[in-house]
Structure 1
Amino acid sequence: MTRTARRTHRTHRMPQVAGAVAVALLALSACSSSDDSSSAKSDASASDSASASDKLSGEVIVFAAASLKESFTTLGKEFEEAHPGTKVTFNFGGSDTLAASITSGAPADVFASASPKTMKIVTDAGDASGTPATFVRNQLAIATLPGNPDKIASLKDLTNPDLKVVLCDKTVPCGAAAQKALEASKLELTPVSYEEDVKSALNKVVLKEADASVVYKTDVKAADDKVQGVDFPESAKAVNDYPITLLEESENVDTSKAFIALVQSAEGQKVLAEAGFLKP
């Protein structure tokens, strides 16, 4: 965001002095003084302008995949503390829904998707500024009820008709990844419901409305003891890359770029790794 420094020029009036020599000397002195003062004010103004341009401020609106909620919320707080005067506002949800909102004109500065496919919706519409960069990866896991009372040990176990299993909708990255893992295992699974995003799928198990759900490892970790996670080897064939980009219509470019830089920094990667994300 361009900021324009405004300079105020002041005019000094010279007093009338008797004698031609005195007038000339006083005029010369005043001119020299005015030039020095003007130069000093100009330098100070330029310095203030540079300082203002370096200082981040304003709001950054980040549209991010639901699975990023915990780690991005942490990074948002860190960013605001490091840059007083800034505010990071998040909109978490299914990546496909977020992409559709962006292409429909929803105000946003940054988009972090859970898959390249949903990011492509935004880039194809010309709404991304530059080339999106992968900043983390994520892998699936099975979330079961605490203690795993149904003794679920594999993806195949989820095909048991006596189990209530929930999946993410096939249009969102976690659902597409689950479908890919099932196809790789040559398994067919009919869930009791398809959910709009990974948090909704996980919540069905947390509320004991389902016996199990296929979600991300990061979501199992975030739920702590509310669910129990079960790893399965087929998940290695359905790992999702997470790309992030500045959006073309961003109204706070410098601050938005700084937030993206934090996500990609060593500190940002540490927060994401602690949440269970894999390196890009």
Structure 2
Amino acid sequence: MTRTARRSRRTLQVAGVSTAALLALSACSSSDANSSSAKSGSSASASAASTKLSGTVTVFAAASLQESFTTLGKEFEKQHPGTKVTFSFGGSDSLAAQITGGAPADVFAAASPKTMKIVTDKGDGVGTPATFVRNQLEIATLPGNPDKIASLKDLTKSSLKVVLCDRTVPCGAAAQKALTAARLKLSPASYEQDVKSALNKVVLKEADAAVVYRTDVKAAGGKVQGVDFPESASAINAYPISLVKNAPNAEAAKAFIALVQSAEGQQVLTGAGFLKP
């Protein structure tokens, strides 16, 4: 064998050893990567399992949120199998009093910052409440508006039976603010404890008109007719939402609040007639 041939053979042997080493190293790296990936996947699964939501979420919410929150509650349960959302709808002041009185609740959604403040001032709220929608007043009349009501001033006619929300609840406070802006005084046939009660007086034809929210007029469909009035622009209510201190199901409550604030939640709310925050 010539010297040149021996050199070539030796070179090929070295190259072969190097290639084998590289292949072995590659296999080890691949094995380690697969092992690491498997561990990572296992950790992710464990993490997902640990954050899986379950149990009941108790939401105290302003009466005007009934239709939209009921829809969001069903969507939440669909997104998180094993959860259930229960609601207590009513006047915000009454709900706030129940929460400060110790009623178990996870979430509070009020129709005004003032009623939310009742809860936060007592230390029963968590963090800073977030405004998630706003709402504007409208006059609800009998279908077809037989009394030809066209303005807030028309409600002062002695021939009309008009109902308002109680001044202690947000819709009543907003109505008083609008009346003040219009420099009008109105003596209603009755003051109702929440906006749904005021609206129902008209639905049942027990009143000729009521000052309620646009969202409630929309939810009632053809049972009432809505009349806009310019003074309502000076009495728009912001709706704050907050986690309640010592919430029995805090993690699920946070997820529900996130749904309300999400693009999906906002679509449901604006579709119901609410204004963006």
TM-score (norm 1): 0.83
Rounded Cα–Cα distance in structure 1 between residues aligned with 2:90 and 2:176:
20
What residue number does 2:29 align with?
none
- The alignment status of 1:103 with 2:100, answered yes or no, reads yes
Does residue 221 in structure 1 map to residue 218 in structure 2?
A: yes
Tell me which protein shows more helix as a share of its residues.
2
Counterpart selection for 1:56 from 49, 53, 57: 53
* Aligned pair partner of 1:90 in 87, 102, 113: 87
Aligned: 1:155 with 2:152: yes
Deviation above 4 Å: which 4+ runs of structure 1?
A: 42-49
Query: Deviation at 1:52?
Result: 2.5
Q: How does 1:237-252 map to 2 (within 5 A)?
A: 237-252=234-249
Deviations 1:184-221 (A, max 9, x none): 11000000000000000000000000000000000000
**Could you list the per-position Cα deviations for residues 15-41 of structure 1 after superposition, in whole angstroms to 9, with x for gaps in the alignment?**
xxxxxxxxxxxxxxxxxxxxxxxxxxx
**Are 1:205 and 2:202 counterparts?**
yes
| Partner of residue 9, structure 2 | none
Pair 1:279-2:272 in alignment: no
Question: Cα offset for 1:51?
Answer: 2.9
CA distance in 1, matches of 2:41, 2:142: 65
Distance in 2 between residues matched to 1:43 and 1:144, nearest whole Å = 62
Distance across 2 between alignment mates of 1:235 and 1:47: 51
Which residue pairs with 1:30 in the alignment? none
Partner deviation per Cα, 1:121-178 (whole Å, 9 max, x = no partner): 0000000011100000000000000000000000000000110000000000000000
Q: If the length of structure 2 is used for normalisation, what is the TM-score?
A: 0.84
Q: Which runs of 5 or more residues in structure 1 are unaligned?
A: 1-41
Identity, % of aligned positions:
77
Question: Does structure 1 residue 257 correspond to structure 2 residue 263?
Answer: no
Going from structure 1 to structure 2, the CA distance change for 1:266 and 1:162 (only over 3 Å counts) comes to same
Please report how far the alpha carbon of residue 103 of structure 1 lies from its aligned counterpart in structure 2 after TM superposition. 0.1
| Match runs of 1:34-183 below 5 Å | 49-183=46-180
Which structure would you say has the larger Rg?
2
Per the alignment, residue 3 of structure 1 pairs with none
SS of equivalent to 2:103: coil
1:231 CA drift (Å): 0.2
- How far 1:45 sits from its partner (Å)? 8.7
